């Protein structure tokens, strides 16, 4: 039974695509990369009625450094859908964060991300086809850039950054940064406030995956919001599995599986459940990953 996929449900939020970043002890330097295949399944009432492999692709990079008592991680992730596999629907998202901390305190964090804006629903094939046809028009992105340092959180944000076509993730990242800066010269959301709590996305993920407790309830700063975070961790024969939920204006449930080792690693698998009946799975695959990473 071939059911239509909602455009919004193909959105891979950057928060659902991250990894456990930091441990109490890191190697002096380390860089790892991973590529992912994105699959989808529809399972109302627990019964799978539709599934499709390779509806999109993703790539990630993790840089670790341990120097003079400070630990630094730089993480980036990008993902996009394949229109030929999703009835013409195109979605793209990108997120990066660089975080520096000591064993006892987070010192600073800089992050940037963008994600394509989409209509709320596409309930049937007719409206889904209309949505796909709209891809010929300029597509807009929500873009956010923020910093947390010395107890202060600041950000800039816009919903009106035009998305160009025909670029890879690396060049698109730089272009979107410039567009956000240009838009913010005249009109964008921006602000600064005392950071309570002094936590970011990567720091709460690290605590969930590598902290002393297998259950975590916390919160973190992201853009103009403070988001609630809850997670449970289990260890299975050499692997860590973390089931997490982020709550703001809406709820986002996800899980990731990574190696249970003394050194942080990129996930082997990520699952994201935007609806109770819809599941997106990201599986790490060997390099190179077809198709080419061209948008």
Residue 290 lies in a domain: no
What pLDDT digit, counting tens, does each position of 9-65 carry?
Answer: 443 343 334 333 344 455 678 899 999 999 988 787 777 777 889 989 999 999 988
Least confident range from 108-117, 163-172, 241-250: namely 163-172
* Closest by Cα among 102, 175, 111 to 145: 111
* Closest by Cα among 223, 241, 248 to 113: 223
- pLDDT reading at 292 higher than 70: no
What pLDDT digit, counting tens, does each position of 59-81 carry?
Answer: 999 998 888 888 898 999 988 88
User: What Rg, from alpha-carbon coordinates, does the chain have?
Assistant: 19
Residue 225 lies in a domain: no
Residue 240 lies in a domain: no
The SS3 assignment for 36 reads strand
What pLDDT digit, counting tens, does each position of 172-220 carry?
Answer: 888 888 888 888 777 788 888 888 888 999 889 888 888 889 999 999 9
Pairing of β 152-163 and β 269-275: unpaired
In whole angstroms, what is the distance from residue 178 CA to residue 23 CA?
A: 33
Residue 156 lies in a domain: yes
- pLDDT reading at 126 higher than 70: no
Extract the tokens encoding 108.
């600073």
* Selected residue with higher pLDDT from 4 and 198: 198
Least confident range from 33-42, 234-243, 258-267: namely 258-267
- pLDDT reading at 269 higher than 90: yes
Residue 66 lies in a domain: yes
Residue 235 lies in a domain: no
Residue 138 lies in a domain: yes
State residue 182's pLDDT score: 83
Reported as a pLDDT band with limits 50, 70 and 90, residue 3 is very low
The pLDDT > 70 percentage for the chain reads 79
Residue with tokens 């209509």: 119
| Domain region containing 138 | 8-195+267-285
Instruction: Answer yes or no: pTM beyond 0.85.
Output: no
State residue 97's pLDDT score: 94
State residue 118's pLDDT score: 59
Count of Cβ atoms closer than 10 Å to residue 109 Cβ? 25
In whole angstroms, what is the distance from residue 93 CA to residue 70 CA?
A: 30
Structural domains counted in the chain: 1
State residue 255's pLDDT score: 94
Residue 36 lies in a domain: yes
State residue 141's pLDDT score: 84
What pLDDT digit, counting tens, does each position of 92-114 carry?
Answer: 889 999 999 887 788 899 999 88
């Amino acid at each position: 039974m071939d059911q239509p996929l909602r455009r919004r449900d193909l959105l891979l939020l950057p928060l659902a695509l991250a990894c456990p970043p930091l441990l109490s002890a890191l190697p002096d330097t380390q860089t790892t990369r991973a590529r992912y295949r994105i699959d989808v399944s529809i399972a109302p009432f627990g019964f799978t009625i539709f599934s499709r492999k390779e509806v999109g692709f993703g790539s990630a990079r993790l840089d670790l450094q341990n120097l003079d008592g400070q630990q630094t991680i730089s993480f980036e992730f990008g993902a996009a859908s394949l229109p030929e596999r999703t009835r013409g629907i195109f979605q793209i998202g990108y997120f990066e964060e660089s975080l520096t901390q000591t064993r006892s305190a987070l010192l600073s964090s800089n992050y940037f991300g963008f994600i394509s804006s989409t209509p709320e629903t596409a309930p049937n094939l007719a409206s889904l086809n209309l949505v796909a046809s709209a891809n010929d028009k300029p597509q807009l992105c929500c873009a956010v850039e923020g910093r947390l340092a010395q107890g202060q959180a600041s950000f800039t944000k816009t919903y009106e950054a035009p998305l160009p076509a025909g670029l890879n993730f690396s060049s698109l990242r730089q272009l979107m940064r410039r567009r956000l800066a240009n838009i913010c010269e005249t009109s964008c959301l921006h602000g600064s406030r005392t950071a309570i709590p002094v936590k970011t996305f990567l720091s709460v993920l690290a605590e969930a995956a590598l902290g002393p407790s297998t259950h975590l309830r916390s919160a973190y700063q992201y853009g103009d919001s403070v988001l609630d975070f809850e997670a449970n961790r289990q260890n299975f024969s050499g692997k860590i599995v973390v089931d997490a939920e982020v709550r703001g204006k809406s709820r986002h449930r996800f899980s990731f599986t990574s190696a249970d080792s003394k050194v942080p690693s990129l996930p082997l698998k990520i699952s994201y459940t935007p609806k109770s009946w819809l599941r997106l799975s990201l599986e790490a695959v060997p390099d190179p990953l077809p198709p080419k990473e061209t948008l």
